[in-house]
Each structure stands twice: as structure tokens, then as C-alpha cells.
Amino acid sequence: MVKTHITLQIVLAVVFLIHATLAYADPAAPLHSSPEECLGRLCISDMKLTENVFVDKYGKGFIKEEYDLTLHCYIFPKEHVFFEAGFDHSTHLPMRFFLSRESACADHSPISVNLSTFKTGAGIELGAAEDEVSGRYGRPTRIDDSIQREKRDHRYRDTDLATRFGAKVYVYLKGGNELLDTSFYFTNGKLRSILISTED
């Protein structure tokens, strides 16, 4: 009886290890249940990624000042996709990465890197389906309807942001005292924009 019990424990332990290994190795398994920090090699929590380091690698782009951020705006000309990187005025560290099929800046400079390198850490890129995003990141903290938000919130009324950037938004929040927030914007079930931010 004791021998059978020990054998059963060993079998269960082996099954658990196999399951854990397969879940880790399966690219379709949920990898995150918290916000994404990286877009390609750009990670918003990277303290070495100062504005100067970023500009040395990607060029200045088109500069836009917004509240406490300096925004650098770029376009992937071949794919007609837009990228924006925002840096804090005082710390010069990244606070926003925004990748979209729709422009958020008045002008842009061409960026000379391959768009295929601008995937999230879980391998999500523009055009991904909703279930692909939730499959990799788990259930979102909340799902926003940006069309309804435009109707409710006077700050968004008559802005057409929902139709431009994506009407349905999967929002992943870090929680606690951390401000990290990742939003995936969808139009007709396909990913149109990705926002990674540490702004208030």
C-alpha cells in the first residue's frame, strides 16, 4: 500500500513536469497575464534606453511636444504603419510606445528598421486576431468600447479616435503602484494599434 502511494506520487510529479514543460514550450499557450513591456527590442522598463540612446539608433523622427513628453514620430513607408516613442521631459526615459496603422502625429520620418521586428515579447504583431492576443496574454483587465467612451467622455467626443485606432480595446494593467498599461486596439476583430505606456 505504501509502495503504491509513493509510486502514485512519483507518477503525478512526472505528469506535472511534462505538462509544465509542454505549456512552456507551446507558443500558443498564454505567456502573460500582465501588461507587455516590450515592442521588439524596445522595453519601456529599460533604464538604459534613454532618449539619446534611442535617437542614436533610430534617428530623431518628427518631434512633437505633448505635456511632459517629447514624442518621436516615424513611419514604416512600405507598410504604411506608424510608430511613436514618448520620453519623459525630466528623466528622458521611455513612457510610451505606440504602433498603429493610423497616424497619431502631424508628420513622420521614415524608420529604417524592419516592421517584422516590432512584435511584442509574446510575438503579437499588427493584424493579429483577438483570440490570438487573449491566448498569449490571458484575460484582459478590462475590455473597453472606445465608441461608447467617445459618447460618454467629453474629452473624446467628436475625436473619431475609435474609428481611427480601433473600437474595441483589450486593456492589461499592472496594478498596485505601478503604472504599466498595455492596450490592444481592434477593428473588425483584427489588431490595429498597440499602446505600451507608463503614463498616469
* Percent of the chain whose predicted confidence (pLDDT) is above 90: 55
Share the mean pLDDT of the chain. 78
φ, ψ (nearest 5 deg) of residue 16: -60, -45
- β-pairing, 109-110 vs 69-76, is parallel
Task: For residue 52, give the C-alpha cell.
Answer: 539619446
pLDDT score for 2: 42
What is the rounded CA–CA span in Å between residue 94 and residue 92? 7
pLDDT score for 14: 30
Instruction: Reply yes or no on whether the pLDDT at 106 is more than 70.
Output: yes
Task: Report helix, strand or coil for 89.
Answer: coil
Between residues 36 and 72, which one has the greater pLDDT? Answer: 72
Instruction: Reply yes or no on whether the pLDDT at 91 is more than 60.
Output: yes
CB 40 within 8 A of CB 76: no
Per-residue pLDDT tens digits for 133-176:
999 999 999 888 765 655 554 444 444 555 578 778 998 988 65
Task: For residue 91, give the C-alpha cell.
Answer: 528623466
Query: E strands of 30-177, at which residues?
Result: 38-39, 42-43, 62-66, 69-76, 81-88, 94-100, 109-110, 142-145, 168-175
What is the rounded CA–CA span in Å between residue 160 and residue 190? 18
Which position has the grid cell 514550450? Answer: 25
pLDDT score for 32: 45
pLDDT score for 142: 86
What is the rounded CA–CA span in Å between residue 66 and residue 109? 18
pLDDT score for 33: 52
Amino acid letter, residue 121: G
Task: Report helix, strand or coil for 2.
Answer: helix
Alpha carbon of residue 4 to chain centroid: 49
Instruction: Reply yes or no on whether the pLDDT at 29 is more than 50.
Output: no
Instruction: Reply yes or no on whether the pLDDT at 27 is more than 50.
Output: no
Mean of pLDDT values over 115-127: 93
Instruction: Reply yes or no on whether the pLDDT at 93 is more than 80.
Output: yes
pLDDT score for 178: 66
Instruction: With 0.75 as the threshold, say if the pTM is over it.
Output: yes
Q: Which helix (H) or strand (E) holds 191?
A: strand 190-197
pLDDT score for 9: 38
